[in-house]
Amino acid sequence: MRKCVSLFLVFTFLLTFGNTVMAADVSGAWTGAGGDGNWSNTANWTAFPEGTGTATIADSGVVLLDTSQSCGIVLMNSGTVGNAVLNITTGANLTLYKSASTEIFGLSRITGGSGTVNHSAGTVTVGNGAGTGEVRLVNVAAPGTYNLSGTGILDTEVLSKGNSSRPGVWNATGGTLAVRNTIYRFGLQSAGYGFNQGDCTLELGAINTVATVNVGNSTNLTDYAVDAGGAIVFDIASASSFDKIYQYGNVANTAGAALIVDLGYAAAPGSFFDVWTFDTPGATKAGSGIFGSITAGWTAEWMDTNADTSTDTLRLTYIPEPATVALFGLGLLALRRNKK
């Protein structure tokens, strides 16, 4: 009996392992032939996109993400004319990752006609930590639009707004944007557009982690604006591990925005953290970097840290309430007593 059980377990392992290794990478195009508009209905696709395959939505297809799905890339109106729409509104999650491709890793491209993503619930995750998973709102054709609202979460390595001639449209009236690497867009600064966060919450790195996020780069500047109602979260895990922004371009506005500090360790009163640094000479900070609100126990001040007479760094300083300081002191006293 034991031998039979052992053979059964070995067979089950081999079957499971074999299925895992031989999982198909299937690409498919949306046809809508199933008639219900649901992503999960295999009759709506030429082949159901799986693994690291590409899901192509074109010709004015309207798709509802009705259940959680994963594939390599979503291409909307790639090289075609139409108004493809992807609705991520039910709370289902979409995971995009492509391990090897001539495309950018994990690329979610909205191109061609006027592809639109309406994202008000659920999480869209692009990339697996390699640093190049990208949501690109346009490539070589007309602009694409991403509408983030409600409780939607977009977690991506890179957010790219588009090229200089056809900048994509980014509407963030709610939800959370988690960027782990870069907020970026192609084209010259003279094109006259930048990244406007709107009323959503910006997390640097995956949610509740720390990361360094570049806004543009030295050759492709990106103006950055935070509307009233928007928020930026800085996670601080330790004295040496905390969120940082490197800004290439100007901060167009911060007035009315909330600055939220999530402190993950027992920092000493007076501890400070340089969280936002400008690497572009002559970059400007509107309103002296004043925010609409800041987490209790913290101050925020733009500093001149390189003695060039221009404010170049946003410094957060921990000045807790007296009650918090008292609790901190009691904790130190208890620690000393334990050591004795």
First to last CA, the chain: 61
On the question of pLDDT at 340 being above 90, the answer is no
- Mapped onto helix, strand or coil, the DSSP state of residue 144 is coil
Provide mean pLDDT across the span 230-242. Answer: 96
Q: Can you give the pTM of this predicted structure?
A: 0.84
Provide mean pLDDT across the span 299-321. Answer: 82
288 or 93: which carries more pLDDT confidence?
93
On the question of pLDDT at 204 being above 80, the answer is yes
User: How far apart are the C-alpha atoms of 183 and 172, rounded to whole Å?
Assistant: 14
338 or 208: which carries more pLDDT confidence?
208
41 — pLDDT class (breaks 50, 70, 90): very high
User: How far apart are the C-alpha atoms of 283 and 23, rounded to whole Å?
Assistant: 50
- Mapped onto helix, strand or coil, the DSSP state of residue 7 is helix
How much is the pLDDT for 76? 83
User: How far apart are the C-alpha atoms of 120 and 230, rounded to whole Å?
Assistant: 16
326 — pLDDT class (breaks 50, 70, 90): very low
In the chain, where are the structural domains located? 27-339
How much is the pLDDT for 33? 96
User: How far apart are the C-alpha atoms of 119 and 68, rounded to whole Å?
Assistant: 14
256 or 147: which carries more pLDDT confidence?
147
178 — pLDDT class (breaks 50, 70, 90): very high
104 — pLDDT class (breaks 50, 70, 90): very low
On the question of pLDDT at 5 being above 50, the answer is no
How much is the pLDDT for 184? 82
Provide mean pLDDT across the span 267-283. Answer: 88
| DSSP label at residue 304 | -
Out of 112-121, 162-171, 252-261, pick the least confident: 162-171
Give the containing element (helix H, strand E) for 336: helix 322-339
Provide mean pLDDT across the span 93-115. Answer: 66
Q: How far is the CA of 313 from the CAs of 105, 182, 310, in angstroms? A: 32, 19, 9
By the 8 A CB rule, do 133 and 105 touch? yes
pLDDT in tens, 12-29: 554 444 444 455 899 999
On the question of pLDDT at 315 being above 80, the answer is yes
Q: 220 phi and psi, to 5 degrees?
A: -130, 85
Identify any residues that bridge with 125 across adjacent strands, giving them in sequence order: 95, 155
On the question of pLDDT at 63 being above 90, the answer is yes
User: Which residues 6+ apart lie within 8 Å of 332 measured at CB?
Assistant: none
* Beta-carbon-side half-sphere exposure of residue 210 (alpha carbons within 13 Å): 16
Which residue reads 């192609």 in tokens? 186
Mean pLDDT of the chain: 80
